[in-house]
Structure 1
Amino acid sequence: MTFDLLATVAVDATLASTVFTAVSAIAILLVLILWAKVHAFVALILASYYVGLMSGMDLLTINDSIKSGMGGILGFVATVVGLGAIFGKLLEASGGAEALAYSLLKKFGEKNATWAMVVTGFLVSIPVFLDVALVIIIPIVYALTRKTGKPILYYGIPLLAGLAVTHAFVPPTPGPIMVAEQLGANTGLVILYGVIIGFPTAVLAGPVFGRFISTKITHGIPEEFSTEHLAKKFEDEDLPSFSRVFLVLLLPIVLILVQAVTAEIYKPAKTQVIVSSAEVVQTQADVEQPHMTIVESEEGYQIVMVDHQGERSTMFTSDLPADKAVGLPAYGALVSSVDSVETLSPRQRDEILEATLKLTGFSENIPDQGTVLKLIAFFGHPFTALIIAIFAASFFLARKQGFSPQQIMELSNSALAPAGIIILVTGAGGVFKQILIDSNVATVMAEAIVQSNINIVVLAFLISALVRIAQGSATVAMVTTAAIIAPLLPGMTGLSSSDYALLTIAIASGATVLSHVNDSGFWLVSKFFGLTEKETLMSWTVVETIIGISGFIGALTLSYVF
C-alpha cells in the first residue's frame, strides 16, 4: 500500500510538490525544536509560515489563517485544559490522590499490591499530570519496598504503567483532549475506548512486565530517598475517605460518558445526498432515510427534498428568483465536481447539502431534542462536567480538609501556570492544521492516501511515533500529528464516530512509544527510581513502548469492529 502511494507521488508533479512541502515542513519543525532549541510554540508557527509560502498563499492570507487556526482550537481546549488543571490540583492538595492509593492498597492487600498500584495510577492520572501524580504516590512505592524487601520496580512499574496509560488515553488529561478536538472526535467515546483499551494495556505493561523486569533490575530505594523524604502530607486518619474521592473523580467522567452514549443512540440520521441524472433518478425512489436528490437535466436541476418528518418538497432551478439564480454557476460547478450516483464523502455531502439548502430555502426539519436529552447534553458537555467536578472537589474534598476559600483560590491560580504552556502549544498546532487546509496541501494528500488505500489508523500511529521519537515530547507529537491528520478526514468515506475516537487513541499511542533521553519523563523516572540510563531504557522505555504498541493494536482492531 505504501509503495502504491510512492509510485503515485513519483508520476504526479503536483502531488510530489505537495508531499515535499508537508515532509519538509515536519523536518524543519524537528530541526527547530531539536537543533535550534526553539520552543515548540514558536516552531509550529514558523513551520506554518513555511507551508503557506511554499504553497503560494498570499502573505496576508497566511496571517488570517494563523488567526483562524489559533482561535478555532483554543475555544475548546483552553477551557477544558484549564478546568481540568484546577480539578486535578484540588484532588492533589486535599490528599485525594493519597487516599485513593492507601485505600486501594488496604483493599487489595500487600500480596496484591502491584494490582493496587496499577489501579491507583490508572485513576489518579486522569485529572492529575503524570509527573505530579508520580511525586504524590512514590512514597507508597518506597514504603512497600522498604517493608517487603522486594525490588523497587516490582511496585514502581505497575504504578508507572497505570499513570502513563490514562495520561495518554483517557480525557480530561490534556493529550487526548487536544487530539479529540483537533479531529472532531466525541470526547465521551474517547473516554470509553481509552478505558477499554487502556486497562488491559496497563496490566500488561504493569504487573506482568513489572514482575519480569524486577528480576533483572533489583535495586531498592535510591539512597537519596532512603529516609522519610517525600513523606505523605496527611496522616491516615486525616485523609478523605476512598468513596468520597472516588465519587468526585468519577463524576465528570460519568457525565461525559452518559452524554456520549445518549448522543450516539438518539443521533438523527444524516440527510443523504444523491446526485443523479434524469435517466437513473427512479432508482433512488426507495431511499427511506432523509435525503436530497439532485437531478441534472438540460433545463437545469430538479431538487427533491425529503426531510426528517417525511415531508417532500420539489424545486426546479429554472424557477428560482433572480436574487437566487445568480448563485447557480457556482452551485453547478459544485454539483458537477462529484461523480453521478456514486456515494459522496462526508465533506462532499455536507458541502452540497449546505449549498442546496441555502439556494432553495428548504429545511432539513430535524426534530427538536426533548428536555431530558437537552439536559443530558448540557451536563455531559466537558465544560459543564468539569465545572461541576471543581465545585464537588472544592466542597467535598478541599473544604472538608480545612482549606479556606482563599486557599482554594490560590490553588486554582497555581494550577493554571503549567496549563498555559500546553494551551499555547495546542493553539500553535491548530495554526499548523489550518494552514494545511487553507493551502490545499491537506486536500491533495488526502486524495492520494484514499487512492493508495493506506489505513488511516496505521498512518496516524506511524506519524505520531516518528515525531515522538525524534523530539521527545508526547504533547508536541500529538499536536503535530493531529494537525496533519485532521484535514485529511473530511475527504474520506465511511468514517464513523468510533473511527474518530479510535484515531485519537492511535495518535496518543504513537506519541507514547520509545521514551528515551530526549523525553523529560525518562529523567524523572531515572531520578525517582535510582536507575542508570541503560536501566531506564530497559524498564521505563519498554513500558512506554508496550503501552504504545498495545494501544495501537487495540485501536486498529476495534476500528474493524465498530
Structure 2
Amino acid sequence: MFAIVLGMLIVVCGVLFLRLHAFLALFFATLVVAAATTAHCVYDSAIDNQTAQVAAASNQQLELIGVGDQFGAKPGAYYLVRDDDDIAKLETTSVWVEKFEATDNGTTAILRDGLSDSGSSIGTLLISQTAYDKAVQLAKTSPTNRVANALGDTFGKIGVLIAMASIIGQCLLQSGAAERIVQSIRESLGEKWTALAFVISSFILAIPVFFDTVFFLMLPLAQAMAQRTGRDYLKYVMSIIVGGTLAHSLVPPTPGPLFVASELNVSIGAMAIGGIAVGVWGVIAGYFYMIWANRRWIIPLRVHNSSADAAPTQASQLPSFGLSILPVVVPIFLLAMKTVNQTWMSDLSSPLMPIWNTAISFLGDKNVALSLGAVLAMLTLILKPDMTWVELGKSVQKALGEGGVVILITCAGGAFGEMIRQTNVGASIADSLPASVSGTGLLAMAFFVTMIIRVIQGSATVAMIAAIGIVVPVATQIGLPFHPVYLALAIGCGSKPLPWMNDSGFWVISRMSGFTEQETLKTFSVLLTIMGFVSFLATVVCALCFPLV
C-alpha cells in the first residue's frame, strides 16, 4: 500500500506542482512503484485467481476449495505449492491431474499417480505448471523490465487505435467534413433548435475527435449565433459541452474509454453501445440544466472572435454529409456488428454463417475498423479541391505527432496500472471490504475512486487510467454479477464530476468563451457533475435490469 500511495503522490505532485508532462509523471511513478514492490507480491498477483486450495487429500484424490475464476480445471501438469515469503524457498510437488469432478462440497481433482504423503498436501495450492512458471519468472524480472513490458503490452492493445482516431479527427477538421456535419444537423432541426443541433453535433464529433478540438471547432458557431440573436450565449456554449464531454469519457476510440475497455476485456463495440446508452441520460440531464442556467444567469458575449464574423464556408466547398459522416459511422457499425454477431448470431445454422463469421470477425476487429475509418477520413480530405498528396501526407503526419503524445501518456498510465496490480493491492482491498460489497457496491467504488483521483489531479483521462489499476484487481477478487462493461462505464462516469482550476479543460472553456472563474464553476463544473452522476445512476439501473451474463 505504501508503494501505491507514493506512486499517486508522484503523479499528483508532478502534474500539479512541478508542472511535469503527464507522461513523465506517470513514468516516474511507475518506476517507483515497481521498485518498491516485493518479488513475493508480484508472484501473488500473477497467480491471483489461478489456484485452488487443497482441503483434503487421499492417495489419488484432492478435495479443492477456493477455486479461482481463472483456474481452468483442465487435465494436465500441475504443482502443489506450499507458500513462503521467499520466492526462492517455494516448495513444489509435481502431479498429473487426469480429470476434475464437481461435487456438492466443491471440486475434486483425480490424479494419475498416487501421492507418497497425502497428509502434507493439505493446505497447499494447486496451480498449473505453466501459470506457476510464468509467475515465478515475472517475480524474478527486474523492475525496469517489468515496466518496459507493461508499456509494450499497453501499446499493443490501443496504440494503433489512438493513431487511427487521430488521423480521423485531423482529416475531418481539415476537409470540412466536421463543419458539414454541424451545418447539416442544424439545418435539419431549424434555427429554433440550434442548441440541440450543437448537442448532437458535438456528441458525434467527440467520438473520433478530442473534446477540446471539438470545442475550438464549434465555439465560433456559438459566438456567431449569439451575435446574430443578441441572447442565449451561455446556452450555445453549454450545448457544445453537453454533447461533447460525455462522449469523451464513455465512447471509444477516445483514449480513456478505450483503455478502460481493453483492461477489462470489454469489446470496443460493447463499450461504444453502452457509452451511448447511458450517456444519453446524462446528456438529457445536462440539457435541462443548460436551459435552467440560461434562464437564471445572463452571460454576455465578451470575447470577439474573428472567425465568428466570417461567413460560413460555402456548401459547395464542403464534402457531402454522407461522405462526412462515414468515417465516424462505419467503424462504430462494424464494431457493433461484431458484438451483435458474437452475442446473438454466431450459433445460427446456415451454410453462409461460416463465411459471415469470418468476414465480420475480420472487419469488426478494432484495429481494422478504425483503420477503415481513417482511410475514409483521408478520402474526404483528398477529394477536397486543390488538395495534393503532399498536403495529405503533412496532415497525417501532424495527426500522428499529436496522437503520439497521447499514446505515450496512455501507455505510461497502463504501465502504472499494471505495477499497481502487481503490488497485489486487489486482494488486500477485497479482504478489507465488507462481505456485502459486491455488484452495485463495486460500481460505486469504481465511480468514487475515479472521481477522487479526477478532483485531485484534474485530468479525466489520467483519472480513468489510474483508477482502473485499483479497481480491476478488486473486481477480480470479488467477482462481477454483471457484464464488465458496466464497471468500465462507472469509471467513465466517475471521470466527469467536480472539474475545477486544476483541469485544463476548465481554463480552455473559461478563456475561450470569456467566462469568469466563478461563472465557469457554476456552469461548466456543475454541469459535468450532474451529467456524471446521472449517467452513473443509469449505469447502475442497466446493470441491475440487464446484467448480460
Q: Give yes or no for TM over 0.5.
A: yes
Cα distance in structure 1, aligned partners of 2:445 and 2:508: 30
Cα distance in structure 1, aligned partners of 2:311 and 2:484: 41
Give the conservation status (yes or no) of the 8 Å contact 2:450–2:495: yes
- After superposition, the Cα gap between the structure-2 partners of 1:25 and 1:248, relative to the gap in structure 1 and judged at 3 Å, is closer
Cα distance in structure 2, aligned partners of 1:188 and 1:516: 32
Deviation at 1:220, TM superposition (A): 3.0
Cα distance in structure 2, aligned partners of 1:128 and 1:450: 42
Instruction: State the Cα deviation string for residues 106-133 of structure 1 (Å, max 9, x = none).
Output: 1111111121111111111111111111
Question: Which blocks of at least 5 consecutive residues in structure 2 are unaligned?
Answer: 40-138, 348-352
Give the conservation status (yes or no) of the 8 Å contact 2:251–2:272: yes
Residue 48 (structure 1) aligns with: 30
Residue 494 (structure 2) aligns with: 510
Residue 22 (structure 1) aligns with: 4
Q: What is the TM-score of this pair, normalised by structure 1?
A: 0.74
Residue 32 (structure 1) aligns with: 14
- After superposition, the Cα gap between the structure-2 partners of 1:440 and 1:266, relative to the gap in structure 1 and judged at 3 Å, is farther
- After superposition, the Cα gap between the structure-2 partners of 1:418 and 1:23, relative to the gap in structure 1 and judged at 3 Å, is same
**Which one of the candidate residues 208, 211, 232 is aligned to 1:130?**
211
Structure 1 window deviating more from structure 2 (250-259 vs 26-35): it is 26-35
Give the conservation status (yes or no) of the 8 Å contact 2:168–2:327: no
Percent of pairs with identical residues: 28
Cα distance in structure 2, aligned partners of 1:402 and 1:213: 45
- After superposition, the Cα gap between the structure-2 partners of 1:229 and 1:510, relative to the gap in structure 1 and judged at 3 Å, is same
Deviation at 1:233, TM superposition (A): 7.1
Give the conservation status (yes or no) of the 8 Å contact 1:84–1:172: yes
**Which one of the candidate residues 410, 417, 420 is aligned to 2:401?**
417
**Which one of the candidate residues 507, 512, 533 is aligned to 2:517?**
533
**Which one of the candidate residues 292, 299, 307 is aligned to 1:212?**
292
Residue 474 (structure 1) aligns with: 460
Give the conservation status (yes or no) of the 8 Å contact 1:187–1:501: no
DSSP 3-state at the match of 1:215:
helix
Give the conservation status (yes or no) of the 8 Å contact 1:433–1:486: no
The residue type equivalent to 2:473 in the other structure is P
Cα distance in structure 2, aligned partners of 1:464 and 1:191: 20
The residue type equivalent to 2:474 in the other structure is L
Residue 234 (structure 1) aligns with: 313
The residue type equivalent to 1:214 in the other structure is N
Name the structure, 1 or 2, with higher relative contact order (CA <8 Å, separation 6+).
Answer: 1
- After superposition, the Cα gap between the structure-2 partners of 1:452 and 1:426, relative to the gap in structure 1 and judged at 3 Å, is farther
Structural mapping, 1:170-319, within 5 Å: 170-206=251-287, 208-225=288-305, 227-229=306-308, 231=310, 234-265=313-344
Instruction: State the Cα deviation string for residues 129-175 of structure 1 (Å, max 9, x = none).
Output: 11111121122212211222222112221121101121111111222
Cα distance in structure 2, aligned partners of 1:130 and 1:256: 22
Give the conservation status (yes or no) of the 8 Å contact 1:245–1:397: no
Structure 1 window deviating more from structure 2 (152-161 vs 44-53): it is 44-53
The residue type equivalent to 2:232 in the other structure is P
Deviation at 1:402, TM superposition (A): 4.2
- After superposition, the Cα gap between the structure-2 partners of 1:25 and 1:241, relative to the gap in structure 1 and judged at 3 Å, is same
Cα distance in structure 1, aligned partners of 2:297 and 2:382: 40
Deviation at 1:462, TM superposition (A): 0.8
Give the conservation status (yes or no) of the 8 Å contact 1:118–1:203: no
Structural mapping, 1:57-206, within 5 Å: 57=39, 61-206=142-287
Give the conservation status (yes or no) of the 8 Å contact 1:97–1:137: no
Give the conservation status (yes or no) of the 8 Å contact 1:175–1:475: yes
Question: Which blocks of at least 5 consecutive residues in structure 1 are unaligned?
Answer: 1-17, 269-368
The residue type equivalent to 1:553 in the other structure is L
**Which one of the candidate residues 492, 510, 522 is aligned to 2:506?**
522
Instruction: State the Cα deviation string for residues 392-434 of structure 1 (Å, max 9, x = none).
Output: 2222454244422222111111012222222112111221222
Residue 378 (structure 1) aligns with: 362
The residue type equivalent to 1:245 in the other structure is S
Give the conservation status (yes or no) of the 8 Å contact 1:90–1:398: no
Residue 366 (structure 1) aligns with: none
Cα distance in structure 1, aligned partners of 2:193 and 2:472: 43
- After superposition, the Cα gap between the structure-2 partners of 1:196 and 1:205, relative to the gap in structure 1 and judged at 3 Å, is same
- How many residue pairs get aligned? The number is 441
- After superposition, the Cα gap between the structure-2 partners of 1:540 and 1:106, relative to the gap in structure 1 and judged at 3 Å, is same
- After superposition, the Cα gap between the structure-2 partners of 1:42 and 1:395, relative to the gap in structure 1 and judged at 3 Å, is closer
Quote the RMSD (CA, aligned, Å): 2.3
Residue 347 (structure 1) aligns with: none
Give the conservation status (yes or no) of the 8 Å contact 1:133–1:163: yes
Instruction: State the Cα deviation string for residues 197-217 of structure 1 (Å, max 9, x = none).
Output: 1123213213x1222112233
The residue type equivalent to 2:31 in the other structure is Y
Cα distance in structure 1, aligned partners of 2:417 and 2:290: 39
The residue type equivalent to 1:137 in the other structure is M
Deviation at 1:24, TM superposition (A): 4.4
Cα distance in structure 2, aligned partners of 1:116 and 1:231: 20
Cα distance in structure 1, aligned partners of 2:154 and 2:346: 24
The residue type equivalent to 1:47 in the other structure is A
Instruction: State the Cα deviation string for residues 49-71 of structure 1 (Å, max 9, x = none).
Output: 33334432379532222122111
Cα distance in structure 2, aligned partners of 1:493 and 1:524: 40
Cα distance in structure 2, aligned partners of 1:246 and 1:431: 35
Q: What is the TM-score of this pair, normalised by structure 2?
A: 0.75
Instruction: State the Cα deviation string for residues 243-301 of structure 1 (Å, max 9, x = none).
Output: 33223321111011111121222578xxxxxxxxxxxxxxxxxxxxxxxxxxxxxxxxx
